[in-house]
Chains A and B, each alone.
Chain A
């Protein structure tokens, strides 16, 4: 196999809880010696329930947080050696909630061109050309350029967020639950779009999700996190066909048995008020 694009080596992240005189000191181990490699062109899904460390992992891989232990290598070099802007040219995020990840006071054009403005290399006309080109690829009409996020639907906003991530032609896109805030019908469109773009831009995805049907559809390999530990890492076919780990099996079962979920959500019997 080719060299890893990004390597996560023994990464731990410990949060200390409570500083004040009246709170108890404590520690939360959000990530516990997690290691894996990300290879060019693949889609690596990270799954796990809430609180399993998925988001902490994504923050560390985006360079927004430093691991307490271990290191992250990008193209063979420790991420600390990259300057922020150079790092951002290679790794870009797509966040969960497009209602929150787009600044409500900016137009689509301002939002998408922002990475270019920060890089500060192209002129205004060149930026506009790139934005138009990208909107074209995303099949969004150019009259949207001057629209504000509040005028768009969730799917449209997520497209804008994806366009913003892609405009500086990164190699890795870290998607933190990119479809979980969207309608089911729009989810499929966005997923298909992501897959298309993967070919067009030769992207590598890290796909953080708790939705296993989405993961099965999109991922090449799946990493399972449980309470900060990487409990299983396998090809998507292998993992879904014969999960080795009990926790993975539980995850798979809980996702597939809808009636049981409904049962547990029924309010408890009690006096009728």
Chain B
């Protein structure tokens, strides 16, 4: 009798921690991203200057590694004499904030639609699948152009646009996962216990969807950051003088042949952030679904 009463093996969480520790890509991505998050949180403390303060006598100062560079402006200044390092540090806030909010917002929309479609099937599924097709047929940039020209390019409008345009991958993944889960007996058991539909969807199914949601979500953060940069570059996203990386690239594009650092530095920041997020997302997928793809 005694041997059947032993608890075997680690908890699911311990198991995940163990797998995470053995995944270099995930560790690298998570480390870089944690640093970026810290930078974003502490940007006002870290930035040596006010990112909005213009000083036309100090225009286009070279960075510290150039011959005439000074330690006062580590990355030099831009065409309006603003400290470039401060602007890049503050840009981390804008990018991560938009990326995270858009990923969460679209995650809520996509997960809800996906769960309803997967759980009910039939007509509900047809309607949701139709919405997914419609969404896939919408060109993101054109829709953004239209919306921004009507409502203006404030930060929360960019977040709202991205949320409404990036939910399709969540919906597809969640729908498929829910279809698999709903035939499992624990759902039948919950039904037999008299559980309500919201309880089954949120209490029984959602915890089991956390893995795929996390994977899609992390990749979607990177996607949203790239899109925000692209929109800001086109002048459709965050409006000046907010320090957004995409906007900084756009403001300096005339200088590309004279002072390439003005484009290279924010560009590198975008690339580093998105790479870190994708490394983490790919790592999460390997960790959460060792048997196959999420």
Report the bound CA distance from A91 to B207 in whole Å. Answer: 27
Whether A207 sits at the interface, judged by CB under 8 Å, is no
Whether A151 sits at the interface, judged by CB under 8 Å, is yes
Contact of B188 among A64, A140, A186, A189 (CB under 8 A): A64
Report the bound CA distance from A89 to B6 in whole Å. Answer: 31
Contact of A114 among B185, B190, B196 (CB under 8 A): B190
Q: What is the total of A-B residue contacts with beta carbons within 8 Å?
A: 85
Q: Which residue in chain B gives the minimum CB-CB distance to A59?
A: B188
Whether A214 sits at the interface, judged by CB under 8 Å, is no
Report the bound CA distance from A140 to B10 in whole Å. Answer: 19
User: Interface digits, B48-76 against A, CB 8 Å rule (1 contact, 0 not)?
Assistant: 00000000000000000000000000000
B10 & A151 in contact (Cβ 8 Å cutoff): yes
Least Cβ distance of A48 to chain B in Å?
A: 20
Q: Which residue in chain B gives the minimum CB-CB distance to A115?
A: B193
- A64: chain B residues at CB < 8 Å are 188, 191-192
B192 & A92 in contact (Cβ 8 Å cutoff): yes
Contact of A100 among B1, B186, B195 (CB under 8 A): B186
B207 & A141 in contact (Cβ 8 Å cutoff): no
User: Interface digits, B193-234 against A, CB 8 Å rule (1 contact, 0 not)?
Assistant: 111100100001001101000000000000000000000000
Tell me the dominant secondary structure on chain B's binding face. Answer: helix
Given contacts A95-B188, A104-B12, A105-B207, contact A186 B193 (CB under 8 A): no
Report the bound CA distance from A95 to B188 in whole Å. Answer: 9
Given contacts A143-B7, A150-B12, A151-B7, contact A93 B1 (CB under 8 A): no
Whether B149 sits at the interface, judged by CB under 8 Å, is no
Whether B293 sits at the interface, judged by CB under 8 Å, is no
Whether A238 sits at the interface, judged by CB under 8 Å, is no
A88 & B189 in contact (Cβ 8 Å cutoff): no
Given contacts A103-B208, A151-B11, contact A141 B5 (CB under 8 A): yes
Whether A202 sits at the interface, judged by CB under 8 Å, is no
B185 & A95 in contact (Cβ 8 Å cutoff): yes
Contact of A156 among B4, B194, B208 (CB under 8 A): B4
Report the bound CA distance from A188 to B4 in whole Å. Answer: 13
- B188: chain A residues at CB < 8 Å are 64, 93, 95, 101
Report the bound CA distance from A189 to B10 in whole Å. Answer: 25
Report the bound CA distance from A5 to B259 in whole Å. Answer: 87
* Size category, A interface: 35 or more
- A92: chain B residues at CB < 8 Å are 192-193
Least Cβ distance of B115 to chain A in Å?
A: 15
B192 & A93 in contact (Cβ 8 Å cutoff): yes
Q: Which of B5, B7, B11, B194 has the most CB of A within 10 A?
A: B194
Whether A153 sits at the interface, judged by CB under 8 Å, is yes
A105 & B208 in contact (Cβ 8 Å cutoff): yes
For residues 134 through 185 of chain A, which have their beta carbon under 8 Å from a beta carbon of chain B? 139-141, 143-144, 147-148, 150-153, 155-156, 161, 164
- B210: chain A residues at CB < 8 Å are 105
Q: List 13 A-B contacts (CB under 8 A).
A: A63-B192, A83-B194, A93-B189, A97-B185, A101-B185, A103-B186, A105-B210, A118-B194, A144-B7, A152-B8, A155-B4, A156-B4, A161-B189
Q: Please give me the 8 A-B residue pairs with the lowest Cβ-Cβ distance, nearest first.
A: A88-B194, A105-B207, A101-B185, A85-B194, A84-B194, A100-B185, A103-B186, A95-B185
Given A64-B188, A97-B185, A147-B7, 12 new contacts (CB under 8 A): A87-B194, A92-B193, A101-B184, A101-B188, A114-B195, A139-B1, A141-B5, A147-B11, A150-B9, A151-B11, A152-B7, A152-B8
Interface positions of B (Cβ within 8 A of A): 1, 4-5, 7-12, 184-186, 188-196, 199, 204, 207-208, 210
